[in-house]
Amino acid sequence: MSLSDEVGQAATRLPYAGTVADRLDVADAVTTFHRCADDGDEAGMRAVLAERVVTVRDGTEPRQRLRDEVVAELAEQAAAGPVQRLVAGHLVEVVGDTAVCTAQAIVVRVPTGGPPAASGEVLRIELVRAGPGWAIVRQESSQRWSWRGGDRSGPAEGVSS
């Protein structure tokens, strides 16, 4: 059996559905969105967001928002001081033209004139196929831990993905 045959057989046993190419494209869309949010790249964020996006933070009621609202909020956060989101551990399931990506995120903010803050989050992102790529239609984030300027006693205000 050739190496490519072994890889093909192993891929069929993976616990997450969808082709490898689709799963990589979904993970790239999620990573691109967060990287563009860090950089305040509004065009880049718009390229991977659907026209309407549902956002859910820490179990709050889902909120349907226009793409431009989400982009403006994240661009404002980026302008307030350096932000870096490290998103990793993408697990992707693709069924037809829909996908769900779960991932872990470390979010670090250094607001101008304020103490640094960090949080660890679990992300659940839903996407739909949009032309040759994927568009984010829903993003849920659940904060697992937070830290602000030496205080780890409670949630860090304003730290979210």
Cα–Cα distance, 30 to 126 (Å, whole number):
10
Architecture of domain 3-148: Roll (3.10)
Most distant CA atoms of the chain, gap in Å: 61
Is 1 or 90 the better-scoring residue by pLDDT?
90
Tens digits of per-residue pLDDT, 36-81? 999 999 999 999 999 999 999 998 999 999 999 999 999 998 888 9
| Domain residue ranges of the chain, discontinuous segments joined by + | 3-148
Tens digits of per-residue pLDDT, 10-27? 445 455 567 899 999 999
Question: Which contiguous run of DSSP H or E holds residue 75?
Answer: helix 67-79
Cα–Cα distance, 108 to 105 (Å, whole number):
10
